[in-house]
Amino acid sequence: MDPASIRAHDDARTASRALATEAVHAGRDDLARQGLHAPPIDLSTTYPSYDSRAEAARIDAFATDGAEPVGPPVYGRLGNPTVARFETALARLEGTEAAVAFASGMAALSAVLLARASTGLRHVVAVRPLYGCSDHLLTAGLLGTEVTWTDPAGISDALRPDTGLVMVESPANPTLAELDLRALAHACGSVPLLADNTFATPVLQRPAEHGARLVLHSATKYLGGHGDVLAGVVACDEEFARRLRQVRFATGGVLHPLAGYLLLRGLSTLPVRVRAASANAAELARRLTADPRVARVRYPRLGGAMIAFEAHGDPHEVIARVRLITPAVSLGSVDTLIQHPASISHRIVDTEDRRGAGVSDRLLRLSVGLEDVEDLWADLDRALGEGAGGPAPARHRETVG
């Protein structure tokens, strides 16, 4: 079935299904009548057509408005049926009209910036902290954009006639600071609000319901969920999706069909994984808060599987001593990962900007997985060391909000 037909078939079903049901069935509703149970993987890069006039007309139509071609696929860079299934499913979970997938989260963000810049709207208003590479992309102006950094209260004053986008991340990477998305969307006026929802996922938060026009995911993280796929996706209205598809076609930042298949499979267990990992994280955050070796713990009011904390001891020594937990960049996998943002994910951000956004040199970021919580705590307990730094003179847990 072609991408447009897959989307139309899914849109025909009732809107009353729960998120857990959508996670399992969205993007797959047409399979049974095709005699299939598992989604097929279409690895074709090109597709035969004996009607070149009709093919030319379809390509012209796409070039004009970016709508998905009706009928058989045309070429892998224009669209792929397997990837389309993932896009349909993610849009259903986020509550948007459409979603457009890319080869990585940074490719997805780049496409958004290019889409806005192509209409002369090169100015971006952004709130720190963001993921380090997102911060760098904006600050360095690599795509011809200009950024104004502000706090949430300053968004309205920072807007200009050429502002094409307001970008935020909530909960933020890596401090887990949370923002009032509804208030921010109101402050944006007619300027689209882009909310990076990678940490929360649609299981915990649907930014479009609070006024965000664009919802960004590094799908590499929770959506894939197993550390074996690199991808990005933007959930949005169909009007913006059409422009993103045109940018994707022109720049070639396409998602491989096998990655689309793995992401669709990952979505089916997303609610279960996020809720189980979140329960582990909440318990670990509680224990870390009570531990005299830990100076500060940050855990979102929203919940989730991410923890940020500062130990009294050397953070690099904590990372060096873990054995069950994996010291690695990235997050959102079934296994638990730990990293030092100032050295890795946010190293590319200017030191003063990084510290000003709350990313201290002592901060550790923990992505909690699905292991038994007692085993995870035993590993953290060992990694924190015996009396590392002595009893805390003052410690607290910040429920970030």
Task: Give the closest residue to 171 by CA, choosing from 139, 134, 204, 126.
Answer: 204
3-class secondary structure, 111: helix
Query: In angstroms, rounded to a whole number, what is the distance separating the alpha carbons of residues 13 and 22?
Result: 11
33 is catalytic: no
Find the catalytic residue in 221, 248, 293, 296. Answer: 221
Find the catalytic residue in 10, 29, 135, 196. Answer: 196
Beta-sheet pairing, 294-300 with 306-311: antiparallel
Annotate 96-107 with b (16+ C-beta within 10 A) or e (fewer). bbbbbbbbbbbb
Centroid of chain to Cα 337: 17
Find the catalytic residue in 122, 131, 354, 365. Answer: 131
Output DSSP code: residue 34.
Answer: G
Find the catalytic residue in 42, 47, 77, 287. Answer: 77
Contact 145, 103 (CB under 8 A): no
What type of residue sits at position 301?
A: R
131 is catalytic: yes
Query: In angstroms, rounded to a whole number, what is the distance separating the alpha carbons of residues 89 and 268?
Result: 9
- Residue for token digits 């894939």? 224
Task: Give the closest residue to 296 by CA, choosing from 285, 307, 306, 309.
Answer: 309
What positions carry a catalytic annotation? 77, 131, 196, 221
